[in-house]
Amino acid sequence: MTEFAVADESPSDRRVARRSADERAQPLTGRLRRFWRAAWPSLLYLIPAVAVMNHLLFHPLSQHSSVDGADEYLFEWVYTSVAQNLAHLHSPMFATSIDATAGVNLMANTGMLLVAAPFTPITLLWGAPVSIALVLTLNLAASAAAWRWFFNRHLLAAQGDGRAASPRTRAALCWIGALVCGFGPGMIAHTNGHPNLTALWLVPLLIDRALRLAKPVTPVRDGVLLGVLAAGQILLTEEILFLLGLGLAVFVVLYCAQRPRVFAQVWRGAATGLAAALSTAAVLAGYPLWFQFNGPQSYGAIPDSPTLYSVNAKTYLLFPAHSIAGDTAAIKAVLKSNTEQAALIGWPLLILVLAAAVLLARELVARTVAATLLVLAVLSWGPNPRFGSLALPFHGPWYWVQSLPLFQDALPIRLSLLMFPAAVFLLAAAALRIVASGSVLVRAGAGAVAAAALVPLVPLPFPVSPRAPLPAFITAGAWSQCLAPGQTLATVPFTDKARWEPVRWVTAANAGFAIPMGSVWVPGKNGDAQMGPQQPATATLLDKVDTTGRIPKITAKMRAAARADLASWRTRCLAVLPSAAHAQADARAVTALLGPGRLIGGAWTWKIEP
| Burial tier of 153 (Cβ tally within 10 Å: 0-12, 13-18, 19+) | middle
CA distance 427 to 358: 11
The three-point CA angle 339-344-346 to 5° equals: 150
Residues 337 and 246 grouped into a single domain: yes
In a domain, 594, yes or no: yes
Name residues whose C-beta falls within 8 Å of residue 216's C-beta, 6 or more positions apart in sequence. 6, 7, 265, 266, 268, 269, 270, 272
CA R_g for the chain: 27
- Determine the pLDDT at residue 169: 87
**Do both 369 and 409 map to the same domain?**
yes
Q: In this structure, are 449 and 478 located in the same domain? A: no
Look at residue 11 in the predicted model and tell me its pLDDT.
Answer: 46
DSSP string of 431-493?
HHHHHHHS-HHHHHHHHHHHHHHHGGGPBPPPPEEEPPPPPHHHHT-GGGGTS-TTSEEEEES
* 151-194: pLDDT as tens digits: 999 987 666 554 567 788 889 999 999 999 999 999 999 999 99
292 within domain boundaries: yes
**Total count of domains within the chain:** 2
For residues 409 and 514, state if they share a domain. no
Residues 367 and 492 placed together within one structural domain of the fold: no
Do the Cβ atoms of 183 and 459 come closer than 8 Å?
Answer: yes
Closest by Cα among 329, 353, 357 to 453 = 353
pLDDT of residue 303: 76
Cis geometry, peptide bond prior to residue 339 (ω within 30 degrees of 0):
no
Final residue before a domain boundary, out of 432, 457, 482: 457
Q: Is residue 88 part of a domain?
A: no
pLDDT for 534: 87
Q: Give residue 18's pLDDT.
A: 52
pLDDT reported for residue 24: 55
For residue 233, CA distances in Å to 182, 244, 275 come to: 17, 11, 18
Are both 361 and 427 inside the same structural domain? yes
Query: Which whole-number Å values give the CA distances from 471 to 1, 502, 568, in the listed order?
Result: 65, 12, 27
Mean pLDDT, consecutive 10-residue stretches, the chain (610 aa), reads 44 50 63 80 97 97 92 96 97 95 94 97 98 98 98 78 71 95 97 96 97 87 97 96 97 94 89 96 97 94 77 95 92 88 96 96 94 97 93 94 90 96 95 84 91 96 95 95 93 76 95 92 88 90 93 95 94 94 95 96 93
The predicted structure's pLDDT at residue 5: 43
**Residue that is last in its domain, among 429, 457, 485:** 457
The verdict on residue 71 lying in a domain is no
In this predicted structure, what is the pLDDT of residue 483? 93
* Whether residue 305 sits in one domain with residue 341: yes
Residues 6+ apart with CB under 8 A from 245: none
Q: 485 and 402, same structural domain?
A: no
Would 515 be classed as within a structural domain? yes
In a domain, 382, yes or no: yes
Query: 510-544 as b/e, with b when 16 or more CB fall inside 10 Å?
Result: bbbbbbbbbbbbbbbeeeebeebbeebebbebbbe
- The rounded distance, in Å, linking the Cα atoms of 496 and 519 is 5
Rounded to whole angstroms, how far apart are CA atoms 285 and 99? 26
Structural domain of 383: 11-45+134-457
Q: DSSP readout, 222-234?
A: HHHHHHHHHHHHH
What global pTM score does this model have? 0.92
The answer for residues whose C-beta is within 8 angstroms of residue 289's C-beta and 6 or more apart is 107, 234
Residue that finishes a domain, picked among 399, 431, 457: 457
Domain-located, residue 467: no
309 lies in the same domain as 164: yes
Residues ≥6 apart with Cβ < 8 Å to 302? 408, 409, 521, 528, 529
Is 597 part of any domain? yes
| Chain-centroid distance, C-alpha 578 | 33
Q: Are residues 33 and 144 in the same domain?
A: yes
Q: Using alpha carbons only, give the angle 454, 195, 310 rounded to the nearest 5 degrees.
A: 65
Asked if 173 and 238 sit in the same domain, the reply is: yes
Is the same domain home to 447 and 574? Answer: no
Q: Which amino acid is at 60?
A: P
Distance CA 575, CA 479 (A): 9
Helix (H, G, I), strand (E, B), or coil: what is residue 318?
Answer: coil
Residue 309 · residue 379 · CB < 8 Å: no
